[in-house]
Amino acid sequence: MREEHVIEAEGLTKMFGTFTAVDHITFDVKKGEIFGFLGANGAGKTTAMRMLCGLSKPTAGRATVAGCDIVREPERVKRNIGYMSQKFSLYEDLQVWENIRLFGGIYGVAEREMAQKTDDMLRRLGIYGEKNTPVKRLPLGWKQKLAFSVAIFHEPKVVFLDEPTGGVDPRARRQFWEMIYEAADRGITVFVTTHYMDEAEYCDRVSIMVDGRIDALDSPGGLKRQFGVGSMDEVFYKLAREAKRGE
Amino acid sequence: MTEVSVREIFKSYGKVEALRGVSFEAERGELFGIIGPDGAGKSTLFRILTTLLVADSGSATVAGHDVVKEYNAIRACVGYMPGRFSLYQDLTVEENMEFFASVFGTTVEENYDLVADIYRQIEPFKKRKAGKLSGGMKQKLALSCAMIHRPRVLFLDEPTTGVDPVSRKEFWQMLGRLKEEGITIVVSTPYMDEASLCDRIALIMEGRFIGIDTPRGIVAQYGAPLYAVRADRRGGLLNDLRGMEELEACYAFGNEVHITAKQESAETERRVAEALAAKGYGDVEVRRIEPTVEDCFMKLSRR
Protein backbone atom coordinates (compact mmCIF):
# COMPACT_ATOMS: atom_id res chain seq x y z
CA MET A 1 0.00 0.00 0.00
CA ARG A 2 1.22 3.43 -0.91
CA GLU A 3 1.98 5.81 1.90
CA GLU A 4 -0.73 8.30 2.67
CA HIS A 5 0.14 11.79 1.47
CA VAL A 6 -1.49 14.66 3.28
CA ILE A 7 -0.03 17.25 0.95
CA GLU A 8 0.68 16.68 -2.73
CA ALA A 9 1.90 19.52 -4.91
CA GLU A 10 2.71 19.17 -8.60
CA GLY A 11 4.21 21.96 -10.65
CA LEU A 12 2.60 24.48 -8.34
CA THR A 13 3.25 27.97 -9.72
CA LYS A 14 2.24 31.51 -8.87
CA MET A 15 2.96 34.54 -11.00
CA PHE A 16 2.35 38.17 -10.15
CA GLY A 17 2.42 39.88 -13.53
CA THR A 18 5.68 38.78 -15.10
CA PHE A 19 7.24 37.85 -11.75
CA THR A 20 7.28 34.14 -10.91
CA ALA A 21 6.99 34.03 -7.12
CA VAL A 22 6.62 30.24 -6.96
CA ASP A 23 8.13 28.32 -9.84
CA HIS A 24 6.78 24.80 -10.47
CA ILE A 25 7.29 23.22 -7.07
CA THR A 26 6.57 19.52 -6.68
CA PHE A 27 6.62 17.66 -3.39
CA ASP A 28 4.65 15.35 -1.08
CA VAL A 29 4.24 15.37 2.67
CA LYS A 30 3.37 12.12 4.45
CA LYS A 31 0.81 11.67 7.21
CA GLY A 32 2.28 12.45 10.62
CA GLU A 33 5.43 13.90 9.11
CA ILE A 34 7.13 17.06 10.41
CA PHE A 35 8.02 18.90 7.23
CA GLY A 36 10.33 21.92 7.42
CA PHE A 37 9.75 24.53 4.71
CA LEU A 38 12.83 26.75 4.58
CA GLY A 39 14.05 29.52 2.34
CA ALA A 40 15.52 33.00 2.41
CA ASN A 41 13.26 36.05 2.76
CA GLY A 42 11.58 36.56 -0.59
CA ALA A 43 12.20 32.99 -1.83
CA GLY A 44 8.44 32.39 -2.16
CA LYS A 45 7.61 30.47 1.04
CA THR A 46 4.70 32.66 2.11
CA THR A 47 3.17 32.66 -1.37
CA ALA A 48 3.44 28.86 -1.55
CA MET A 49 1.95 28.49 1.90
CA ARG A 50 -0.98 30.78 1.04
CA MET A 51 -1.80 28.60 -1.96
CA LEU A 52 -1.65 25.42 0.14
CA CYS A 53 -4.01 26.98 2.68
CA GLY A 54 -6.58 27.80 -0.01
CA LEU A 55 -6.04 31.55 0.27
CA SER A 56 -4.53 32.16 -3.15
CA LYS A 57 -5.11 30.45 -6.50
CA PRO A 58 -2.12 29.04 -8.37
CA THR A 59 -1.34 30.30 -11.88
CA ALA A 60 -0.41 26.75 -12.90
CA GLY A 61 -0.02 23.32 -11.41
CA ARG A 62 -2.13 21.53 -8.86
CA ALA A 63 -2.13 20.53 -5.22
CA THR A 64 -4.24 18.64 -2.74
CA VAL A 65 -4.16 19.26 0.99
CA ALA A 66 -5.88 16.82 3.38
CA GLY A 67 -7.44 15.22 0.29
CA CYS A 68 -9.00 18.47 -0.96
CA ASP A 69 -8.12 20.21 -4.20
CA ILE A 70 -6.82 23.70 -3.42
CA VAL A 71 -8.35 25.24 -6.56
CA ARG A 72 -11.75 23.57 -6.61
CA GLU A 73 -12.33 23.17 -2.89
CA PRO A 74 -10.51 25.97 -1.05
CA GLU A 75 -13.21 26.15 1.64
CA ARG A 76 -12.85 22.43 2.41
CA VAL A 77 -9.08 22.91 2.60
CA LYS A 78 -9.55 25.62 5.22
CA ARG A 79 -11.80 23.42 7.36
CA ASN A 80 -9.28 20.59 7.37
CA ILE A 81 -6.17 22.50 8.31
CA GLY A 82 -4.92 24.42 11.31
CA TYR A 83 -2.81 27.57 11.01
CA MET A 84 -0.62 29.46 13.40
CA SER A 85 1.86 32.25 12.85
CA GLN A 86 4.01 34.26 15.17
CA LYS A 87 2.39 37.46 13.94
CA PHE A 88 -1.21 36.49 14.33
CA SER A 89 -2.78 33.65 16.20
CA LEU A 90 -4.95 34.74 19.13
CA TYR A 91 -7.08 37.77 19.97
CA GLU A 92 -5.16 39.60 22.68
CA ASP A 93 -8.20 41.28 24.26
CA LEU A 94 -10.22 38.10 24.56
CA GLN A 95 -9.83 35.78 27.53
CA VAL A 96 -8.15 32.43 27.13
CA TRP A 97 -11.42 30.46 27.04
CA GLU A 98 -13.05 33.00 24.70
CA ASN A 99 -10.28 32.51 22.16
CA ILE A 100 -10.68 28.74 22.30
CA ARG A 101 -14.44 29.03 21.92
CA LEU A 102 -14.18 31.47 19.03
CA PHE A 103 -11.76 29.34 17.01
CA GLY A 104 -13.52 26.10 18.01
CA GLY A 105 -16.79 27.58 16.77
CA ILE A 106 -15.30 28.77 13.50
CA TYR A 107 -13.84 25.33 12.82
CA GLY A 108 -17.08 23.56 13.71
CA VAL A 109 -16.19 21.86 16.99
CA ALA A 110 -19.49 20.52 18.38
CA GLU A 111 -21.04 22.77 21.01
CA ARG A 112 -21.58 19.93 23.50
CA GLU A 113 -17.89 18.96 23.39
CA MET A 114 -16.54 22.47 23.67
CA ALA A 115 -16.50 22.91 27.47
CA GLN A 116 -14.93 19.53 28.19
CA LYS A 117 -12.33 19.86 25.44
CA THR A 118 -11.42 23.35 26.60
CA ASP A 119 -10.85 22.20 30.18
CA ASP A 120 -8.87 19.16 29.04
CA MET A 121 -6.61 21.32 26.91
CA LEU A 122 -5.97 23.91 29.60
CA ARG A 123 -5.17 21.20 32.16
CA ARG A 124 -2.76 19.56 29.73
CA LEU A 125 -1.03 22.91 29.22
CA GLY A 126 -1.01 23.50 32.96
CA ILE A 127 -2.76 26.88 32.61
CA TYR A 128 -6.27 25.98 33.79
CA GLY A 129 -6.02 28.75 36.39
CA GLU A 130 -5.64 31.30 33.56
CA LYS A 131 -8.91 30.36 31.87
CA ASN A 132 -10.40 33.83 32.40
CA THR A 133 -7.17 35.78 31.81
CA PRO A 134 -7.00 38.04 28.75
CA VAL A 135 -4.45 36.58 26.36
CA LYS A 136 -2.38 39.78 26.38
CA ARG A 137 -1.47 39.13 30.04
CA LEU A 138 0.10 35.74 29.32
CA PRO A 139 3.88 35.37 28.97
CA LEU A 140 4.93 34.92 25.35
CA GLY A 141 5.98 31.28 25.79
CA TRP A 142 2.53 30.34 27.15
CA LYS A 143 0.86 32.31 24.40
CA GLN A 144 2.66 30.33 21.70
CA LYS A 145 1.75 27.04 23.31
CA LEU A 146 -1.87 28.10 23.65
CA ALA A 147 -1.92 29.32 20.04
CA PHE A 148 -0.62 25.97 18.85
CA SER A 149 -3.20 24.07 20.92
CA VAL A 150 -5.95 26.26 19.51
CA ALA A 151 -4.68 25.68 15.96
CA ILE A 152 -5.08 21.90 16.43
CA PHE A 153 -8.20 22.06 18.65
CA HIS A 154 -10.45 20.83 15.82
CA GLU A 155 -8.03 17.97 15.13
CA PRO A 156 -7.04 19.00 11.62
CA LYS A 157 -5.17 16.60 9.35
CA VAL A 158 -2.40 19.11 8.87
CA VAL A 159 -1.25 22.20 10.72
CA PHE A 160 0.69 25.03 9.08
CA LEU A 161 3.11 26.84 11.39
CA ASP A 162 4.60 30.05 10.01
CA GLU A 163 7.68 30.91 12.11
CA PRO A 164 5.94 29.79 15.28
CA THR A 165 8.88 30.29 17.65
CA GLY A 166 10.33 33.67 16.65
CA GLY A 167 11.49 35.63 19.69
CA VAL A 168 10.69 32.88 22.18
CA ASP A 169 13.29 32.05 24.85
CA PRO A 170 15.38 28.89 24.30
CA ARG A 171 13.61 26.89 26.98
CA ALA A 172 10.09 27.71 25.76
CA ARG A 173 11.21 27.05 22.18
CA ARG A 174 12.18 23.49 23.10
CA GLN A 175 8.95 22.91 25.02
CA PHE A 176 7.11 24.09 21.94
CA TRP A 177 8.90 21.53 19.78
CA GLU A 178 7.95 18.79 22.20
CA MET A 179 4.31 19.75 21.59
CA ILE A 180 4.94 19.52 17.85
CA TYR A 181 6.31 15.99 18.30
CA GLU A 182 3.26 14.97 20.37
CA ALA A 183 0.93 16.28 17.67
CA ALA A 184 2.88 14.41 14.98
CA ASP A 185 2.72 11.22 17.07
CA ARG A 186 -1.07 11.60 17.15
CA GLY A 187 -1.00 11.61 13.34
CA ILE A 188 -1.26 15.37 12.72
CA THR A 189 1.00 16.39 9.87
CA VAL A 190 3.13 19.44 10.64
CA PHE A 191 4.24 21.91 7.97
CA VAL A 192 6.57 24.45 9.54
CA THR A 193 8.72 27.42 8.49
CA THR A 194 11.54 28.68 10.68
CA HIS A 195 14.65 30.82 10.61
CA TYR A 196 16.27 28.80 13.40
CA MET A 197 18.53 26.26 11.74
CA ASP A 198 18.69 24.05 14.84
CA GLU A 199 14.93 23.65 14.42
CA ALA A 200 15.47 22.42 10.88
CA GLU A 201 17.26 19.49 12.51
CA TYR A 202 14.09 18.61 14.41
CA CYS A 203 12.14 18.03 11.17
CA ASP A 204 11.73 14.64 9.48
CA ARG A 205 12.35 16.22 6.09
CA VAL A 206 13.27 19.70 4.99
CA SER A 207 12.80 21.55 1.70
CA ILE A 208 14.77 24.68 0.86
CA MET A 209 13.33 27.23 -1.55
CA VAL A 210 15.59 29.44 -3.65
CA ASP A 211 14.16 31.96 -6.14
CA GLY A 212 10.73 30.30 -6.13
CA ARG A 213 12.03 26.76 -6.70
CA ILE A 214 12.58 23.91 -4.28
CA ASP A 215 16.32 23.39 -4.74
CA ALA A 216 16.79 20.71 -2.08
CA LEU A 217 14.53 18.28 -0.29
CA ASP A 218 15.60 15.47 2.01
CA SER A 219 16.03 14.52 5.65
CA PRO A 220 18.42 16.85 7.51
CA GLY A 221 20.99 14.02 7.55
CA GLY A 222 20.55 13.45 3.82
CA LEU A 223 20.97 17.14 3.02
CA LYS A 224 24.15 17.40 5.06
CA ARG A 225 25.60 14.37 3.25
CA GLN A 226 24.53 15.73 -0.13
CA PHE A 227 26.25 19.06 0.49
CA GLY A 228 29.17 17.57 2.39
CA VAL A 229 28.74 19.81 5.43
CA GLY A 230 28.20 19.31 9.16
CA SER A 231 25.17 21.49 9.89
CA MET A 232 21.90 22.66 8.37
CA ASP A 233 23.18 26.19 8.75
CA GLU A 234 25.90 25.46 6.19
CA VAL A 235 23.46 23.68 3.85
CA PHE A 236 21.21 26.73 3.96
CA TYR A 237 24.09 29.10 3.45
CA LYS A 238 25.41 27.19 0.42
CA LEU A 239 22.01 27.20 -1.26
CA ALA A 240 20.70 30.64 -0.38
CA ARG A 241 23.95 32.30 -1.44
CA GLU A 242 23.21 31.11 -4.98
CA ALA A 243 19.96 33.06 -5.05
CA LYS A 244 19.79 35.41 -8.02
CA ARG A 245 16.82 37.48 -7.13
CA GLY A 246 16.85 40.10 -4.41
CA GLU A 247 14.08 40.32 -1.92
CA MET B 1 35.91 56.04 27.42
CA THR B 2 32.43 55.14 28.60
CA GLU B 3 29.83 56.04 26.00
CA VAL B 4 26.74 54.45 27.54
CA SER B 5 26.35 54.11 31.28
CA VAL B 6 23.28 52.59 32.92
CA ARG B 7 22.76 52.40 36.69
CA GLU B 8 20.03 50.37 38.39
CA ILE B 9 17.19 51.16 36.02
CA PHE B 10 13.68 50.12 37.09
CA LYS B 11 10.54 50.56 35.00
CA SER B 12 7.03 49.21 35.50
CA TYR B 13 3.88 49.47 33.41
CA GLY B 14 1.14 49.17 36.01
CA LYS B 15 1.72 45.80 37.64
CA VAL B 16 4.13 44.58 34.98
CA GLU B 17 7.76 45.08 35.96
CA ALA B 18 9.51 45.50 32.64
CA LEU B 19 12.97 46.31 34.05
CA ARG B 20 14.07 45.26 37.51
CA GLY B 21 17.42 46.83 38.20
CA VAL B 22 19.52 46.85 35.04
CA SER B 23 23.10 48.21 34.96
CA PHE B 24 25.85 48.15 32.35
CA GLU B 25 28.47 50.26 30.62
CA ALA B 26 29.47 50.28 26.97
CA GLU B 27 32.77 51.74 25.82
CA ARG B 28 33.26 53.97 22.83
CA GLY B 29 33.38 51.87 19.64
CA GLU B 30 32.08 48.81 21.41
CA LEU B 31 29.50 46.49 19.89
CA PHE B 32 27.34 45.64 22.89
CA GLY B 33 24.64 42.98 22.51
CA ILE B 34 21.53 42.59 24.63
CA ILE B 35 20.37 39.05 24.14
CA GLY B 36 17.04 37.68 25.27
CA PRO B 37 13.53 36.66 24.28
CA ASP B 38 10.55 38.89 23.47
CA GLY B 39 9.05 40.44 26.58
CA ALA B 40 12.35 40.42 28.50
CA GLY B 41 12.52 44.23 28.63
CA LYS B 42 14.87 44.98 25.72
CA SER B 43 12.68 47.54 23.99
CA THR B 44 11.85 49.32 27.24
CA LEU B 45 15.57 49.73 27.91
CA PHE B 46 16.13 51.10 24.38
CA ARG B 47 13.29 53.60 24.78
CA ILE B 48 14.76 54.85 28.04
CA LEU B 49 18.24 55.24 26.54
CA THR B 50 16.88 57.07 23.50
CA THR B 51 14.95 59.45 25.84
CA LEU B 52 11.51 58.36 24.66
CA LEU B 53 10.56 56.96 28.05
CA VAL B 54 11.52 57.94 31.60
CA ALA B 55 12.62 55.25 34.05
CA ASP B 56 10.89 54.90 37.45
CA SER B 57 14.28 54.97 39.15
CA GLY B 58 17.95 54.67 38.30
CA SER B 59 20.03 56.80 35.97
CA ALA B 60 21.71 56.63 32.59
CA THR B 61 24.00 58.67 30.42
CA VAL B 62 24.58 58.41 26.68
CA ALA B 63 27.56 60.16 25.07
CA GLY B 64 28.10 61.86 28.42
CA HIS B 65 24.58 63.32 28.63
CA ASP B 66 21.94 62.47 31.21
CA VAL B 67 18.93 60.77 29.57
CA VAL B 68 16.44 62.91 31.50
CA LYS B 69 18.07 66.32 31.99
CA GLU B 70 19.87 66.50 28.67
CA TYR B 71 17.54 64.59 26.43
CA ASN B 72 17.86 67.15 23.65
CA ALA B 73 21.61 66.65 23.39
CA ILE B 74 21.14 62.90 23.24
CA ARG B 75 18.53 63.06 20.51
CA ALA B 76 20.96 64.94 18.29
CA CYS B 77 23.76 62.41 18.58
CA VAL B 78 22.13 58.98 18.67
CA GLY B 79 20.60 56.87 15.93
CA TYR B 80 17.68 54.62 16.82
CA MET B 81 16.21 51.77 14.85
CA PRO B 82 13.11 50.59 16.70
CA GLY B 83 11.91 47.00 16.61
CA ARG B 84 8.83 47.81 14.64
CA PHE B 85 9.20 49.40 11.22
CA SER B 86 8.96 53.11 11.90
CA LEU B 87 9.58 54.80 8.59
CA TYR B 88 7.01 56.68 6.58
CA GLN B 89 5.25 54.03 4.51
CA ASP B 90 3.87 56.55 2.04
CA LEU B 91 7.21 58.21 1.34
CA THR B 92 9.62 56.65 -1.11
CA VAL B 93 12.98 55.20 -0.08
CA GLU B 94 14.72 58.38 -1.20
CA GLU B 95 12.17 60.68 0.48
CA ASN B 96 12.56 58.87 3.78
CA MET B 97 16.32 59.34 3.63
CA GLU B 98 16.02 63.03 2.80
CA PHE B 99 13.44 63.53 5.53
CA PHE B 100 15.61 62.02 8.26
CA ALA B 101 18.67 63.91 7.05
CA SER B 102 16.83 67.24 7.08
CA VAL B 103 15.35 66.67 10.55
CA PHE B 104 18.92 66.39 11.83
CA GLY B 105 20.04 69.40 9.83
CA THR B 106 22.20 67.54 7.36
CA THR B 107 21.94 66.12 3.84
CA VAL B 108 22.13 62.64 2.37
CA GLU B 109 25.15 63.72 0.28
CA GLU B 110 27.11 64.91 3.30
CA ASN B 111 27.13 61.53 5.02
CA TYR B 112 26.68 59.29 2.02
CA ASP B 113 30.00 57.52 2.60
CA LEU B 114 28.85 56.25 5.98
CA VAL B 115 25.66 54.62 4.69
CA ALA B 116 26.85 53.81 1.16
CA ASP B 117 27.62 50.20 1.99
CA ILE B 118 24.04 49.51 3.01
CA TYR B 119 22.14 52.12 1.05
CA ARG B 120 23.59 51.05 -2.30
CA GLN B 121 21.74 47.75 -1.94
CA ILE B 122 18.37 49.51 -1.86
CA GLU B 123 19.21 52.48 -4.06
CA PRO B 124 17.89 50.75 -7.21
CA PHE B 125 14.46 50.92 -5.54
CA LYS B 126 14.73 54.52 -4.38
CA LYS B 127 11.50 55.56 -6.11
CA ARG B 128 9.53 52.81 -4.40
CA LYS B 129 7.29 53.59 -1.41
CA ALA B 130 8.77 52.30 1.85
CA GLY B 131 5.55 50.41 2.60
CA LYS B 132 6.06 48.33 -0.55
CA LEU B 133 9.53 47.07 0.36
CA SER B 134 10.25 43.50 1.48
CA GLY B 135 11.26 42.82 5.07
CA GLY B 136 15.00 42.73 4.45
CA MET B 137 14.97 45.93 2.38
CA LYS B 138 12.90 47.74 5.02
CA GLN B 139 15.56 46.86 7.56
CA LYS B 140 18.33 48.23 5.36
CA LEU B 141 16.41 51.45 4.81
CA ALA B 142 15.67 51.80 8.53
CA LEU B 143 19.35 51.36 9.35
CA SER B 144 20.37 53.88 6.67
CA CYS B 145 17.88 56.43 8.04
CA ALA B 146 19.09 55.84 11.61
CA MET B 147 22.67 56.63 10.53
CA ILE B 148 22.25 59.44 8.06
CA HIS B 149 23.18 62.12 10.64
CA ARG B 150 26.39 60.26 11.58
CA PRO B 151 25.38 59.40 15.16
CA ARG B 152 27.90 58.73 17.91
CA VAL B 153 25.82 55.94 19.37
CA LEU B 154 23.53 53.63 17.45
CA PHE B 155 20.66 51.78 19.17
CA LEU B 156 19.34 48.88 17.13
CA ASP B 157 16.35 47.08 18.60
CA GLU B 158 16.11 43.59 17.09
CA PRO B 159 17.31 44.54 13.61
CA THR B 160 17.51 40.90 12.49
CA THR B 161 14.26 39.46 13.82
CA GLY B 162 12.45 37.48 11.14
CA VAL B 163 15.40 37.82 8.76
CA ASP B 164 16.81 34.66 7.15
CA PRO B 165 20.22 33.34 8.27
CA VAL B 166 22.11 34.56 5.17
CA SER B 167 20.79 38.13 5.40
CA ARG B 168 21.44 38.09 9.14
CA LYS B 169 25.08 37.24 8.53
CA GLU B 170 25.38 40.12 6.03
CA PHE B 171 23.75 42.50 8.48
CA TRP B 172 26.29 41.64 11.18
CA GLN B 173 29.14 42.16 8.75
CA MET B 174 27.79 45.67 8.14
CA LEU B 175 27.72 46.33 11.88
CA GLY B 176 31.33 45.24 12.11
CA ARG B 177 32.30 47.88 9.54
CA LEU B 178 30.33 50.63 11.35
CA LYS B 179 32.13 49.77 14.55
CA GLU B 180 35.41 50.43 12.80
CA GLU B 181 34.20 53.98 12.21
CA GLY B 182 34.22 54.41 15.99
CA ILE B 183 30.45 54.30 16.37
CA THR B 184 29.23 52.67 19.58
CA ILE B 185 26.51 50.16 18.84
CA VAL B 186 23.99 48.76 21.31
CA VAL B 187 22.03 46.02 19.59
CA SER B 188 19.41 43.60 20.83
CA THR B 189 18.52 40.20 19.40
CA PRO B 190 16.57 37.10 20.34
CA TYR B 191 18.99 34.95 18.28
CA MET B 192 21.56 33.40 20.61
CA ASP B 193 23.91 32.54 17.75
CA GLU B 194 24.46 36.25 17.10
CA ALA B 195 25.93 36.76 20.57
CA SER B 196 29.40 35.65 19.51
CA LEU B 197 29.56 38.55 17.03
CA CYS B 198 29.41 41.14 19.84
CA ASP B 199 32.34 42.47 21.88
CA ARG B 200 30.34 42.04 25.06
CA ILE B 201 26.85 40.78 25.77
CA ALA B 202 24.20 41.04 28.45
CA LEU B 203 21.74 38.17 28.72
CA ILE B 204 18.31 39.50 29.68
CA MET B 205 15.32 37.58 31.00
CA GLU B 206 12.22 38.93 32.75
CA GLY B 207 13.63 42.41 33.25
CA ARG B 208 16.98 41.37 34.72
CA PHE B 209 20.44 40.84 33.34
CA ILE B 210 21.32 37.23 34.16
CA GLY B 211 24.82 37.47 32.77
CA ILE B 212 27.10 40.17 31.39
CA ASP B 213 30.54 39.55 29.92
CA THR B 214 32.37 38.88 26.68
CA PRO B 215 30.83 35.92 24.80
CA ARG B 216 33.91 33.88 25.79
CA GLY B 217 33.59 34.98 29.39
CA ILE B 218 29.94 33.91 29.50
CA VAL B 219 30.86 30.50 28.11
CA ALA B 220 33.76 30.15 30.56
CA GLN B 221 31.38 30.68 33.49
CA TYR B 222 29.25 27.67 32.53
CA GLY B 223 30.88 25.75 35.31
CA ALA B 224 29.88 22.16 34.59
CA PRO B 225 30.96 19.69 31.94
CA LEU B 226 28.49 19.66 29.05
CA TYR B 227 28.07 16.63 26.80
CA ALA B 228 26.44 16.16 23.40
CA VAL B 229 24.71 12.84 22.81
CA ARG B 230 23.69 11.33 19.52
CA ALA B 231 22.45 7.92 18.45
CA ASP B 232 21.08 6.16 15.39
CA ARG B 233 17.49 7.08 16.25
CA ARG B 234 16.14 10.18 17.91
CA GLY B 235 12.63 9.01 18.85
CA GLY B 236 12.60 8.43 22.60
CA LEU B 237 16.24 9.47 23.09
CA LEU B 238 15.36 12.63 24.99
CA ASN B 239 12.93 10.80 27.27
CA ASP B 240 15.32 7.91 27.89
CA LEU B 241 18.05 10.34 28.90
CA ARG B 242 15.62 12.22 31.14
CA GLY B 243 14.95 8.95 32.91
CA MET B 244 18.59 8.69 34.02
CA GLU B 245 19.02 9.53 37.70
CA GLU B 246 22.49 11.00 37.45
CA LEU B 247 21.67 13.60 34.79
CA GLU B 248 20.63 17.12 35.58
CA ALA B 249 19.91 19.13 32.42
CA CYS B 250 18.73 17.36 29.31
CA TYR B 251 17.45 19.10 26.21
CA ALA B 252 17.39 18.86 22.42
CA PHE B 253 20.00 20.89 20.57
CA GLY B 254 19.79 20.54 16.81
CA ASN B 255 20.33 16.89 15.96
CA GLU B 256 21.87 16.12 19.35
CA VAL B 257 20.82 16.13 22.98
CA HIS B 258 22.84 18.19 25.45
CA ILE B 259 23.23 16.87 28.97
CA THR B 260 24.95 17.79 32.23
CA ALA B 261 25.44 15.48 35.20
CA LYS B 262 24.33 16.23 38.76
CA GLN B 263 27.83 15.40 39.94
CA GLU B 264 30.99 15.78 37.96
CA SER B 265 32.49 12.42 37.14
CA ALA B 266 34.99 11.05 34.67
CA GLU B 267 32.59 8.16 34.20
CA THR B 268 29.62 10.14 32.88
CA GLU B 269 30.40 9.69 29.19
CA ARG B 270 30.91 5.96 29.50
CA ARG B 271 27.91 5.34 31.75
CA VAL B 272 25.50 7.27 29.52
CA ALA B 273 26.79 5.51 26.40
CA GLU B 274 26.41 2.10 28.04
CA ALA B 275 22.94 2.85 29.34
CA LEU B 276 21.80 3.89 25.86
CA ALA B 277 23.39 0.85 24.23
CA ALA B 278 21.54 -1.33 26.78
CA LYS B 279 18.30 0.28 25.63
CA GLY B 280 19.03 -0.80 22.09
CA TYR B 281 20.47 2.40 20.60
CA GLY B 282 23.20 2.00 18.00
CA ASP B 283 26.02 4.37 16.97
CA VAL B 284 25.87 6.03 20.38
CA GLU B 285 28.22 8.95 20.73
CA VAL B 286 28.68 10.94 23.94
CA ARG B 287 31.30 13.66 23.86
CA ARG B 288 32.32 16.58 25.98
CA ILE B 289 31.65 19.91 24.24
CA GLU B 290 32.18 23.61 24.76
CA PRO B 291 28.86 25.27 25.71
CA THR B 292 27.31 27.81 23.36
CA VAL B 293 25.76 31.07 24.54
CA GLU B 294 22.38 29.38 24.16
CA ASP B 295 23.43 26.62 26.62
CA CYS B 296 24.55 29.34 29.03
CA PHE B 297 21.30 31.23 28.65
CA MET B 298 19.32 28.11 29.43
CA LYS B 299 21.40 27.39 32.48
CA LEU B 300 21.24 30.96 33.79
CA SER B 301 17.50 31.28 33.18
CA ARG B 302 16.69 28.10 35.11
CA ARG B 303 15.07 29.07 38.35
Write down the domain spans for chain B.
Answer: 2-220, 226-300
What does the pLDDT look like over B47-70, one tens digit per residue? 999 999 999 999 999 999 999 999
From the list B38, B162, B251, the residue facing A163 with the nearest CB is B162
Q: B127-143: b or e for each residue (b if 16 or more CB lie within 10 Å)? A: eeebeebeebbbbbbbb
CATH architecture, domain B2-220: 3-Layer(aba) Sandwich (3.40)
Residues of A in contact with B169 (CB under 8 A): 237
State the pLDDT at residue B139. 85
**Which percentage of chain A shows pLDDT scores above 90?**
76
Q: Which residue of A has its CA nearest to B234?
A: A202
CATH ID of B226-300, from 3.30.300, 3.30.70, 1.10.150, 3.30.1490 = 3.30.70
From the list A139, A171, A201, the residue facing B254 with the nearest CB is A201
Are B255 and A168 inside 8 Å of each other by CB?
A: no
What does the pLDDT look like over A151-198, one tens digit per residue? 999 999 999 999 898 888 898 899 999 999 999 989 999 999 988 888
**CB proximity A219 to B under 8 Å:** no
Most B-contacting residue of A177, A195, A233 (CB-CB within 10 A), to test interface? A195
How many cross-chain Cβ pairs, A to B, lie less than 8 Å apart? 88
Q: Which residue of B has its CA nearest to A230?
A: B255
Residues of B in contact with A220 (CB under 8 A): 255
Checking if the pLDDT of B302 tops 90, the result is no
Between A20 and B136, the higher pLDDT residue: A20
Between A159 and B169, the higher pLDDT residue: A159
Residues of B in contact with A139 (CB under 8 A): 39
The edge-to-edge listing of strands for the beta sheet with A5-16 is: A19-30, A5-16, A60-65, A68-69
**CB proximity A139 to B under 8 Å:** yes
What does the pLDDT look like over B233-252, one tens digit per residue? 877 899 999 999 999 999 99
Q: Which residue of A has its CA nearest to B169?
A: A237
What's the whole-number mean pLDDT along residues A32-44? 91
Note whether B291 and B300 are within 8 A (CB).
no
What does the pLDDT look like over B85-103, one tens digit per residue? 778 999 999 999 999 999 9
**CB proximity A83 to B under 8 Å:** no
What's the whole-number mean pLDDT along residues A206-227? 95
Is the predicted ipTM greater than 0.85, yes or no?
no
What's the whole-number mean pLDDT along residues B149-161? 93
